[in-house]
Structure 1
Amino acid sequence: MEHFIRPDGSPPVNGYSHAVAFTGAMVAVSGQVPVDGDGNPVGEGDAEAQIRQVYANLTTALEAAGSGLEHVVKLTVYLTDLDDLGAFRKVRDEHQDAEHPPACSLVRVAGLVHPDFRVEIDAWAVAPGAG
């Protein structure tokens, strides 16, 4: 992977790359929501707890596909409340390498599949050694 965090002439970034070039087998991870392994919602009203659960679910899905958070090339983050952006950045920064951040899109949405969900994240990653 090659990260283009801030190519000449592009605007400043906060924890993401403007572009990521890569080769290898791709892993597409469906939108992960704040539910535990038994399907129970986690962190009602607590954005940080929900984001932590989403990252745990992302990790599980990526590892099952032979990848990991360090191999994510693109995240799409859906937040129902932009006041949760600080919590997202805090948890994101605990899980990703600041020197090699993925490309990222942030979308404010009116709601998610469950009314208590504040966040959903999907990802594209490389599966090293596959393909």
Structure 2
Amino acid sequence: MRRHVNTDKAPAAIGTYSQAVFAGDTLYLSGQLGLDPATMTLPAEFAAQCERVFANLKSVVEAAGASLDQVVKLTVFLTDLSYFATVNEVMARYFTAPYPARSAVEVKGLPRGAMVEAEAVVWLGA
């Protein structure tokens, strides 16, 4: 059984996808950019984009009735891996040990000219 999650506390989908979808005890979050949900604008600085990315992920997870403590896997897409240390600094404000598994991948480009995007998998089982 699939159930979709939608919240206005995170940016609206800018394509043919859902913010998140439940499949059984697992919640799959679509990639979040650093867009401000109210204005759909992107900050110019990487750190501000990264902060907004994780705030957006948190909003979607909470709209699903879960918390970031239940995230088991993150995938972070960066247009420049030299920003990796900043990702770690920002993540430390949103997650505590034990941290979720994570991959970080450098990509040529992201929608809207973003510098960072992250997606997550949340497990809600016992």
TM-score scaled by structure 2?
A: 0.76
Partner secondary structure for residue 111 of structure 2: coil
Structure whose alpha-carbon radius of gyration is higher: 1
Partner of 2:27: 27
Task: Give the % identical residues.
Answer: 37
Which residue, 98, 108, 111 being the options, matches 2:106?
A: 108
C-alpha distance in structure 1 between counterparts of 2:39 and 2:110, whole Å: 16
CA contact (8 A) 1:76 1:105 kept: yes
Partner secondary structure for residue 112 of structure 2: coil
CA contact (8 A) 1:65 1:127 kept: no
Number of residue equivalences: 103
C-alpha distance in structure 1 between counterparts of 2:35 and 2:125, whole Å: 28
Question: Cα RMSD over matched residues?
Answer: 1.5
State the structure with bigger RCO (CA 8 A, min sep 6), 1 or 2. Answer: 1
Q: How far is the alpha carbon of 1:97 from its aligned partner?
A: 0.9
Amino acid corresponding to residue 127 of structure 1 in structure 2: L
Q: Which runs of 5+ in 1 are unaligned?
A: 1-23
Partner of 1:91: 90
Partner secondary structure for residue 38 of structure 2: coil
Partner of 1:77: 76
